[in-house]
Structure 1
Amino acid sequence: MPTFRYRAYSGAGDLLEGEIEARSGDEAEEALFRRGLTPFETREASSSSGASVLSQLSFGRRAPGAAQIAAFTREFATLEQADVPLDHSLRILSAQSAAPAMRELAQEILARIVDGSSLSDALSRRPDVFGAEYVNVVREGEAVGKVGPALTDLADMLERQIELRARIQSALVYPALLITLALISTGVVLGTLVPSIAPIFADNGKAMPSGLQLIMDAQANAGTIGLVLAIIAAVVLLLRKMAQTRPTWRIAIARFYLRLPVVGPLLAQFATARFARTLGSMIKAGVPLLQGLESARAAVVNAFLNDELASVIDSVRGGGQLSGALGAIPFIPAVAPQMISIGEETGQLDVMLLRVATMFERGTQRSIERAMGLLTPVLTILIAAVVGALIMTVMDAVLSINDLAGK
């Protein structure tokens, strides 16, 4: 019998974790209800790591893209907010979808709904398409009977992510072209000019210029240099893999990222925005604060901030204010707890959280756009310096050849 990991709330509001044996996820949740617990998350322990691969193998088709999932979520939210029954909504989505992958996805979800699964449980069976954050938001929406608003918030979030990704990709086109042309130019210089010039000095018994000698030595030891670089890359990958299995390492690395001069504040703003957006959407949908905090914490990918948010949840569970607990977390922008405190005092916590999210999302977007704008001139200068140094080295060698010819 499969084993399911669960996170559930007790009657006193405590979040409990454990394992339970059941034939299906629905049966596991029913068993938890019989124990007096309210399930927050249940997943099969034995197959969670390979669920994505097995899911793709079982259907034999490529998973839908991010843009398709965003469009699917937007259309689904529109139908749900129009009070169209869930099964009818999925039938409509299946019928009108032009992409075969999305049509099959809607049919698969519909089949699970007809078999008695909840929407969140049906979505959780496709982790290759719907992440844990997506499923948690839908589950909380189901708990309070507001699936439509939950899907709307998800659609807004996905569309913002796609827009930001598209802007970054567009801004990287010109730098990528510059790098490609620089590599081609460097290859021409190193592959044709240098090998043609170097033998002239050897034939005349003269020492090569230092720059040309450095290039020839690098070419002669290319195998050794490549081996050293490969070893360094392997060590980095090994350390990264080890860090993934050691929470203390992941937390330390995440804290180091947050300490970086330019990248750190950007990561902190992004994490704050995701936390505030998720929590604000949850509270707006009627989800209790503690449950919303659990989902919002899951949306924060930075391991250090994620770990610190556990103490925030404990503080709120003990009767503390959310703003005070957030203010004690390092790297969280100071304005966030201040605005959240105003929301707590005025009874508009959800509204203020969404404003905080919007403010930091726009700030993050502006910062990324400025960085992308600076990337092009910086790369131009660096590439010009590298190519110019190579050309100067070759010209120095050519002038030395002229001196040899004059003698």
Structure 2
Amino acid sequence: MAYFRYKGRDRLGKAKQGKISAESKQEAVANLKLNGVIVFQIDELNSILYKEIHFGKKVKHKDFVIFLRQFSTLIDAGVTLVEATTILQEQTDSKHIKSSLAKITEHLESGETLSQAMERYDDIYPSLLTNMIHAGEVSGNLDEILDNMATYYEKQNQLRQKIVTALTYPLTVGVFALLISIFLLTFIVPTFANMFTSMGEDLPAYTAFILGLSDFTRSYWWVLLLLVILAFILIRYLLSKPNLAYRLDVLKLKTPIFGDLLQKAVLARMTRTLSSLLNSSVPILQAVQIADRVITNRVVKKVLQDSQTSLEQGESLATPMKDHWVFTKMVTQMIAVGERSGSLDEMLSKVADFYEEELDHATDKIKSLIEPIMIVILTVIVGAIVLAIIIPMFSLFENI
């Protein structure tokens, strides 16, 4: 549930303003209209006081994919929309999907279309899905559209899992190395520091440095925590600035090893999205506009926006892509061939298949390369701290 501040006028022309709670902006406007208020302006209240607290995403990718596949199967079997949403309320494990389906069922019974009902809950159902469902309602092939969308989101979930798998291992090992280092510096090194002090001998410079680092960690741990918080705030600030966020996305794509992985992932998602839209008879200009909203990488978004302009001027979709470094020759050539032959959806699907397969190989390769590197890094970090303790021990044994 979200909260919105609105301004408008009632049937007598009297100014009205206030706050209203609803699942979406569309639902808030509809409820106000039922109460005789014509809305001129409505904005979501983003203050934490007006936010529901939940951890992570509202709906897990896995739950959403299962829901969509079950929905597609029920509609394909001839079950009515109202019956399907009622059945899925009982089957889904997601409380947010369950809650939204209960209200969607009510909207369907009141005469709304499925796409209109789903648009009210845009924090659960993506705009791509609602646009495609609307296209299916108009063309009369909703069952086919739902099947295509179920397949699309299954592939997107698999793509996401591949990226998460590739990035999880180095991140886990890095966090583990940091925790071990903090544990050694906080609890183990101070024990030996007292012993070294009692020896009354000058310590090697390297050992003295580690002991100083240990003292700093124990005395000023709050500084380290503050730096982490400031880094998080700085990243959020940078992402709020379009130019800086764009440069950050460029940096991601040009990062050694992982940049190539992210490039393949974003190209696979873009081509798969366009292919699914065009295969469902969505006009190409509208398909590019929807893909622009789906893709999160600002570098690719900018090129897609240029492609919209190119199409509006009667030129090729691939024209802005040909001279851009993020798009490979394979992508632009396949798009050009598809446009000439009238089979653009098929060509885009083949490109998506290729990059999804490439992503499989890339993730396996990264895991095989990163694993020994991270083990060496972990060994060096722990070994460096242990070595600082061992070096003075040799001097102690010589004196004995």
1:358 equivalent in alignment to 2:353: yes
CA contact (8 A) 2:182 2:217 kept: no
Correspondence 1:202 to 2:208: no
Structure 1 position 24 matched with structure 2 position 34? no
Q: Which residue in 2 is equivalent to 1:384? A: 379
Q: What's 2:276 paired with?
A: 281
CA–CA distance in structure 2, aligned partners of residues 252 and 335 of structure 1: 25
Distance in 2 of aligned mates of 1:130 and 1:268:
26
The residue that corresponds to 1:31 in the other structure is: none
Instruction: Give the secondary-structure state (helix, strand or coil) at the position aligned to 2:318.
Output: helix
Match of 2:67 among 57, 69, 72: 72
Match of 1:319 among 294, 307, 314: 314
Query: Quick one: distance in 2 between partners of 1:328 and 1:307?
Result: 13
User: How many Å apart are 1:393 and its aligned residue?
Assistant: 2.3
Partner of 2:12: none
Q: 1:305 to 1:189 in 2, by over 3 A?
A: closer
Name the count of aligned residue pairs.
371
Aligned residue runs from structure 1 range 107-256, under 5 A = 107-166=102-161, 186=181, 189-190=184-185, 193-222=188-217, 226=221, 229-230=224-225, 232-256=227-251
Task: Rate the CA distance shift 1:143–1:26 in 2: closer, same or farther, 3 A.
Answer: farther
Summarize the Cα distance change of 1:225–1:153 in structure 2 as closer, same or farther, 3 Å threshold. farther
Contact 1:268 1:333 in 2 (8 A): no
Alpha-carbon distance in 1 for matches of 2:211, 2:328: 52
The 3-state SS of whatever aligns with 1:46 is strand
User: Would you say the 8 A contact 1:133–1:299 is kept in 2?
Assistant: yes
Question: What TM-score do the two structures reach when normalised by structure 2?
Answer: 0.78
Give the deviation of 1:70 after TM superposition. 0.7
Identity %: 24
366, 370, 373: which one pairs with 1:371?
366
> Is 1:46–2:42 an aligned residue pair?
yes
Aligned equivalent of 2:301: 306
Q: Does 1:261 align with 2:256?
A: yes
Letter in 1 for 2:61: A
Q: Matched residues in 1 for 2:179 and 2:229: separation?
A: 27
Which consecutive residues of structure 1, in runs of 5 or more, have no partner in the other structure?
Answer: 5-19, 28-43
Alignment RMSD, CA only?
Answer: 3.7
- Once the 2 structures are TM-superposed, how far is the Cα of residue 316 of structure 1 from its aligned partner? 0.5
Distance in 2 between the 1:181 and 1:52 partners? 33
User: TM-score if structure 1 supplies the norm length?
Assistant: 0.77
User: Which residues of structure 2 form unaligned runs of 5+?
Assistant: 9-25, 34-39
Aligned-pair CA distance for 1:174? 6.9
Select between 163-172 and 332-341 the one with higher mean Cα deviation.
Answer: 163-172
Q: How big is the shift at 1:212?
A: 2.1
Q: Give the drift of 1:291.
A: 0.8
Task: Give the superposition deviation at 1:288.
Answer: 1.0
Task: Give runs of aligned pairs for residues 290-305 of structure 1, distance below 5 A.
Answer: 290-305=285-300
- 1:218–1:89: structure 2 CA closer, same or farther, 3 Å change rule? same
